[in-house]
């Protein structure tokens, strides 16, 4: 079970709205656009996402700046559609398009596609190793900007210690727990 909400900081405090991310969002850019729409004054908007007891993520959008991201468990998030939105190549430390390059590198396009069986066995082993390496590219544990909420009263250490019901704890620290509960 997933929960996703937008918390927009206004001069009157935090305003919350829930969102069906899968209906509206396919990329981080889509998510940032959705968040910016929630705050016409270019105020801070937090996108809070959690999958029950598995992981949570915070995306922070400040006006037109690039989104800042924190994910509590990248490996768990990588196994979910919401997590895939947050785990960008940049966040994972990969060059965009690395997957395509790895796929092309694994192909034997030297004109001897009907080569002998020994070479085919080597290629199969190489492909298995490449697949394992790409699966290991998503680290277990937190990933992203642990200082994402520093100026809002939640330091890196506190953020990394959050686990179950993390979004409620974040909202409490921001003074927005009642606001978040209205959309939960």
Q: Compute the distance between CA of residue 184 and CA of residue 168 in angstroms, rounded to an integer.
A: 10
What DSSP letter does each residue of 19-30 carry, written as one string? --HHHH-SSHHH
Average pLDDT over residues 82-111: 68
Does 98 have pLDDT greater than 80? no
Facing residues of 9 across strands? 14
The length of the chain in residues reads: 184
pTM for the model stands at 0.77
End-to-end CA distance of the chain: give it in Å, rounded: 12
Of the listed ranges 22-26, 62-66, 71-75, the least confidently predicted one is 22-26
Using one digit for the tens of pLDDT, what is the confidence trace for 128-167? 444 444 444 788 899 999 999 999 999 999 999 997 789 9
* Confidence band, pLDDT 50/70/90 cuts, at residue 124: very low
Give which of 51, 75, 49 is closest to 142, Cα–Cα: 75
Residue with the bigger pLDDT between 136 and 56: it is 56
In percent, the amount of the chain with pLDDT more than 90 equals 43
Mean predicted confidence (pLDDT) in 55-61 = 95
Does residue 5 carry a pLDDT above 70? yes
Q: Token pair of 60, please?
A: 């922070």
The secondary element (H helix, E strand) that includes residue 61 is strand 55-62
| Whole-angstrom distance, CA of residue 129 vs CA of residue 142 | 25
- Predicted confidence (pLDDT) at residue 123 exceeds the cutoff of 50: no
Per DSSP, the three-state class of 122 is helix
Q: Coil, strand or helix: which one is 78?
A: helix
Q: In what order do the strands lie in the sheet with 55-62?
A: 13-18, 2-10, 44-51, 55-62, 68-71, 143-144
For the segment 81-93, what is each residue's pLDDT rounded down to a tens digit? 889 899 998 999 8
pLDDT at 79: 92
DSSP state for residue 62 in the 8-state scheme: E
Q: d(Cα 165, Cα 181) in Å, to the nearest integer?
A: 12
Mean of per-residue pLDDT scores for the chain:
80
CB-hemisphere CA count at 13 Å for 10? 13
pLDDT at 45 over 70: yes
């Amino acid at each position: 079970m997933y929960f996703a909400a937008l918390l927009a900081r206004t001069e009157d405090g935090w305003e919350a709205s829930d969102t069906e991310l899968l209906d509206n969002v396919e990329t981080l850019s889509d998510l940032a656009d959705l968040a910016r729409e929630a705050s016409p004054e270019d105020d801070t908007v937090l996108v809070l996402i959690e999958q029950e007891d598995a992981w949570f993520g915070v995306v922070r959008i400040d006006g037109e700046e690039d989104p800042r991201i924190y994910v509590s468990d990248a490996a768990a998030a990588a196994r979910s559609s919401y997590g895939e939105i947050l785990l960008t190549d940049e966040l994972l430390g990969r060059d965009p398009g690395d997957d395509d390059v790895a796929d092309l590198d694994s192909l034997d396009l030297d004109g001897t596609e009907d080569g002998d069986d020994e070479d085919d066995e080597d290629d199969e082993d190489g492909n298995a190793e490449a697949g394992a390496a790409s699966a290991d590219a998503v680290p277990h544990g937190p990933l992203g900007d642990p200082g994402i909420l520093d100026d809002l009263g939640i330091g890196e250490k506190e953020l990394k210690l959050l686990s179950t019901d993390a979004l409620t704890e974040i909202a409490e620290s921001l003074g927005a727990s009642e606001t978040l509960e209205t959309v939960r």
